[in-house]
Chains A and B, each alone.
Chain A
Amino acid sequence: MTIDTIEMDNSGVVLAIADSAILRTCVLKSIQKIYQEGKTGVIISLSEPQIILKKALEKNSVDTSTLFFIDGVTVSAMGKAGTEENCFYVNKSSDLTGIGIAITKAMALIENKENMVIILDSVSTLLIYNDPNLIIRFLHMLVNKVRLNDAIGVLFSAKNAIDPIVTAQITAFSDSVMYFEK
C-alpha cells in the first residue's frame, strides 16, 4: 500500500507498518484522512512533540482543534509540559500508566465515539523505553478501549522494528495489518 491509498474501515484495529523513512508522512496522511472524513481523533505522539506535529497538520489545512493529542516527548525533552490546548502531556514515553490515563481523559472529551480514531505513533518508539511484555499488556488495554467504543485504532510502527514474536502477538489482536513502502 502506498501513503496515498491509506484506507480505514469504520471500526477495528490496524497494525500499520511503514518504512521508517515514510513513517511520519503516513502518520500525517492518516490524521489528514480522519479530518477529511469528519472523524475525531486521539493522537498518541511518542516520537515527535505535539507542537511540531500540530504545525505540520495545520500547514496541510487540518483544523487541529477537533483532535486530542497525548504528547510523550515534550516534557522529557524540555523538562516541562507545553501549554497547548487539547493536549495531555505525559512525563515520558515509558510511563504507560500515564499514557493510559491520558487516553481515558481524552476519550472522555469526545462525544461521538463511533466516529473516533486513536492513532499511536508509534509501537516502535514504545519499545525503546519498555519491556515488550508490558507493551503487549498496554496495547491490549488500548485495543479493548477501541473495541468497546466501536472506534478505529491505528497502531503505527517502523518496519523491522519489532521482534517477530511481539509482532505476531500484536497481529493476533489486530483486525488487519497494513504495510507501507517507500
Chain B
Amino acid sequence: MDNGDIRVLQEKLDKKTKEVQELTQELEHTNEGLIALYMELDDANKKLADTNRQLKEQEKKLIAYLFETVNKTRNPVVNITRNLSLLEEMAVSGDIDNSDVKLIIEVIKNNAKMINENIIELNKVAIDGSDRFLDSYRDFLTEE
C-alpha cells in the first residue's frame, strides 16, 4: 500500500467518522424528542386518568341523584295507593265519614303535588345540563 492509498483510506475514514458523528447527533436529537413525547404522553395519560376519575365521581353522583329523584316521585305514588285503598276499604265497609274522606283526599292531593314538584325539579336539572332544549320546551318542562 503506497501513500496515495493510505490518504484515500484516511479520507474515507474521516468521512465515515463524520457521518457517524452526524448520525449520533441526529440520534441524540431524536432521543430528546422521544423523551419529550413520552413526557407529553405521560402528562396526557395522567390528565385522562384524572378526567376518568372525575367522570366516575360525577356518574356516582348522577346515579345517586336519579335514585333519590325516582324515590321522591315513586314514594308519593305508594302513599297515594295506600290512601286510595283506605278510601276503597271505607266505601266497601260502608263506614264513611265525610270529614275523614276529605282529609284522605287532601293527603292524596298533597302527595300528587309532591310528584309534580319533583318532576319539575328533575326537568330543571336536565335542562341545566343541556343547551339543546328549545325555549318553548324549556318553559313546558319547568312551568308549574
Contact = CB atoms under 8 A, between A and B. Distances in A.
B75 A52 contact: no
Interface of B: 64, 67-68, 71-72, 74-76, 78-79, 81-83, 85-86, 100, 103-104, 106-107, 109-111, 114
Contacts of A161: 71, 74-75, 78
Contacts, number: 67
Q: Which range holds the interface residue count of chain A?
A: 20 to 34
A51 B78 contact: no
B78 A24 contact: no
Given A127-B71, A128-B75, A165-B64, A77 B82 contact: no
A146 B103 CA distance: 31
Interface of A: 20-21, 23-24, 47-49, 51-52, 55, 73-74, 76-78, 124-125, 127-129, 132, 158, 161-163, 165
B77 to A, nearest CB: 9
Nearest to A52: B100
A161 B70 CA distance: 9
B103 to A, nearest CB: 5
A47 B100 contact: no
Given A127-B71, A128-B72, A49 B78 contact: no
